[in-house]
Amino acid sequence: MPKRITQTRNRVLRPTPLTSLATFAAACAVLFTSACGPTEEELELVALTEDLASANTAIDSLNYTVESSNLLIDEMRSRVDSLQYVDQKLLESVQRLNREVRQWQELAGEQKRMNAQLTDEIERMKRDKQSDQRSIARLRGQADSINTALLDAHTGIRRQEDHIKRMELDLSQSLDEVAALRQAETSVRVYAATEDFLKENGYLDTDRIFGRAFRKSYKLIKRLDPTDPRVQLAPLGEPLRLEGEVDTYVDRFGTLKKGKSYTSSKSEGGVEVIFTDDLLGGSDVLVVLKE
């Protein structure tokens, strides 16, 4: 059995939403306008302030997206812990998402440093009452590059989120299959029919090793098809009702012994049998009905 994956739950660090500088920059723009009227530099400052507000809005949106991704990762981890093993691809996807989020955090930190630098630049220009157009253009170009990188990181995170949702569906199907397999391991596949029918279809072999004076021996020689609608699944320790009168119960080793492998009692129109031997779990049993 594969080793159970015990991944240390390092939660993805959630970046603290950046403080908006839009109000401060707007106040600076008003101060410049009221002092000497709108100039080209002041218009550049207003445009820069609007860009800063847009960047802060984008960062807040990405913070919300990261929170959603963290909640999704926590939910996936809790479901994975209930299994003894999990698909390695799912774990790799979660790790890849963590790397994407860390990359976004680095970019967000870079954006924060750039915003602080822009704030210092605006303060300097307010004191000196002059602007450096080349410096503003350079800083604005850097801010645009950072915003583009943030958008790419956001797209990557959303793509990973969709992939994890698909993996979650696959995991749910796997859980259902595991549950079905576990039930099959603790149940007996039963096929009830007459002796002639079972022999004609290749399921049953009979013989009298020591001649007609001795009891007939039975043996199952062909595996049952679980998809056959006539094959019934009988959980160990639970009653199974059979129509008709039973002659004997047979597995691949021979005739089952009453009291050791099963118990049975008559019911209206048939027989009620309970398989009690744990060694019968996951095996095939033929119920030979009388003609």
pLDDT at position 14, please? 46
Average pLDDT estimate for 255-260: 91
pLDDT at position 287, please? 93
CA dihedral 248, 249, 250, 255 (to 10 degrees): -70
**CA–CA distance, 127 with 112 (Å, rounded to integer):** 23
Higher pLDDT, 36 or 236: 236
pLDDT at position 209, please? 64
* Tens digit of each residue's pLDDT (9 = 90 or more) over 52-65: 888 788 787 777 77
| Residue 84 per-residue DSSP state | S
CATH of domain 22-184: 1.10.287
pLDDT at position 248, please? 92
pLDDT at position 107, please? 82
CA dihedral 50, 54, 57, 59 (to 10 degrees): -130
pLDDT at position 8, please? 40
Average pLDDT estimate for 75-103: 72
Average pLDDT estimate for 127-137: 67
Can you say whether the dihedral through the CA atoms of 51, 55, 56, 60 is positive or negative? positive
pLDDT at position 181, please? 66
pTM to 2 decimal places? 0.41
| Residue 279 per-residue DSSP state | G
Contacts of residue 169, defined as CB under 8 A and 6 or more positions apart, other chains included, come to none
Confidence tier at 11 by pLDDT (50, 70, 90): very low
Share of the chain above pLDDT 70, in %: 77
| Residue 217 · residue 208 · CB < 8 Å | yes
* Tens digit of each residue's pLDDT (9 = 90 or more) over 92-113: 777 888 888 888 788 878 888 8
Alpha helices in 81-132 (DSSP H): 88-128
pLDDT at position 208, please? 74
Q: Where are the domains of the chain?
A: 22-184, 187-289
Q: Give the rounded distance of the alpha carbon of 254 from its chain centre.
A: 45
* Tens digit of each residue's pLDDT (9 = 90 or more) over 151-203: 888 888 888 888 888 888 888 777 776 666 676 678 899 999 999 999 999 99
For the chain, report the end-to-end CA distance as a whole number of angstroms.
46
* Residue 19 clears pLDDT 50, i.e. is over it: no
**Average pLDDT of every residue of the chain:** 77
Average pLDDT estimate for 259-268: 89
